[in-house]
């Protein structure tokens, strides 16, 4: 943990320093929200996931393994929460891809960016495990090794999944005239 830039804040948070935890939230709120959004394609669900991630992190700091990088831990919680939401959607009402997240919001300007939406919709066309690994690599910037830790799969599996995911995304984008 000595090389983890979050180590000091984690230790202080575990000792009850809420300001230290707020600093951790400040560091990871944005990537967690963005990862959740790219997996779920819904701002409200992404917000719910972000809330739950930090609540669970706060409540479970005592169980955090200091040998693990903090970001791996928080991203694993985020991915699991997002996957739970997807599973919940399947159990209840499926949300058609082209109907989600069309409400106006403060970021509507960016959301209207055609290319951005096109790529997001292409992501939504991928199998969930492919979308997830793409998000970890390209939205969160994780290495193969880090993705392996987060998803709890061997690095070899990460590479195989990521390479297949990119190929699938290439095919989707090409079929939509976006390449």
Partner 1 sequence: MSDERLTELINLDLDGVLDADGRAELERRLAADPAARARHAELAKVAVKLAGLTPLDPPRDAVPSAKVLAWRPRRPGGTWTRYAAALAAGVVVGAVGLSLYRLQPEGLMVDSSEMAGTMARTGPASVLLDTQTISTPDLQGQVTLREADGLWVVEFDLRSDRPVTVVASYDGAEARLQGFAPPDEGAAQIGTGPGRVTFAAEGQRHAAFYLKPIEGAGGPITIRFQAAGESALEVQLDPARH
107 binds partner 1 (CB under 8 A): yes
Q: List all residues 6 or more positions away from 9 whose beta carbon is below 8 Å from its beta carbon.
A: 20, 21, 23, 24, 70
**Residue 22 neighbours by CB distance under 10 Å:** 14
88 binds partner 1 (CB under 8 A): yes
113 binds partner 1 (CB under 8 A): yes
Q: List all residues 6 or more positions away from 174 whose beta carbon is below 8 Å from its beta carbon.
A: none
Q: Locate 62 and state its tokens.
A: 């005592």
Out of 44, 97, 175, 176, which residue is the one contacting partner 1 (CB under 8 A)?
44
140 binds partner 1 (CB under 8 A): no
Instruction: For the CB of residue 72, give the shortest distance to partner 1 in the complex, in Å.
Output: 18
Instruction: For the CB of residue 10, give the shortest distance to partner 1 in the complex, in Å.
Output: 16
Whole-angstrom distance, CA of residue 44 vs CA of residue 140 = 20
Say if residues 83 and 35 touch (Cβ distance below 8 Å): no
Q: Which residues bind partner 1 (CB under 8 A)?
A: 18, 21-22, 25, 29-30, 32-34, 37-38, 43-48, 50-52, 54-56, 58-60, 81, 84-85, 88-89, 92, 106-107, 110, 113, 115-116, 119-120, 134, 137-139, 144, 159, 162-163, 166-167, 169-170, 173-174, 178-179
């Amino acid at each position: 943990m000595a090389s983890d830039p979050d180590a000091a804040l984690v230790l202080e948070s575990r000792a009850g320093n809420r300001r230290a935890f707020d600093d951790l939230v400040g560091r990871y709120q944005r990537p967690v929200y963005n990862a959740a959004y790219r997996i779920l394609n819904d701002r409200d669900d992404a917000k719910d996931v972000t809330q739950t991630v930090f609540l669970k992190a706060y409540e479970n700091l005592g169980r955090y393994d200091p040998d693990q990088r903090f970001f791996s831990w928080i991203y694993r919680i985020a991915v699991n929460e997002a996957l739970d939401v997807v599973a919940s959607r399947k159990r209840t009402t499926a949300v058609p891809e082209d109907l989600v997240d069309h409400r106006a919001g403060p970021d509507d300007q960016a959301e209207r960016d055609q290319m951005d939406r096109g790529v997001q919709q292409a992501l939504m066309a991928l199998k969930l495990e492919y979308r997830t690994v793409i998000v970890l690599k390209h939205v969160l910037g994780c290495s193969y090794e880090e993705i392996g830790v987060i998803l709890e799969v061997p690095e070899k599996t990460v590479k195989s999944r990521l390479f297949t995911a990119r190929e699938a995304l290439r095919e989707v984008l090409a079929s939509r005239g976006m390449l």
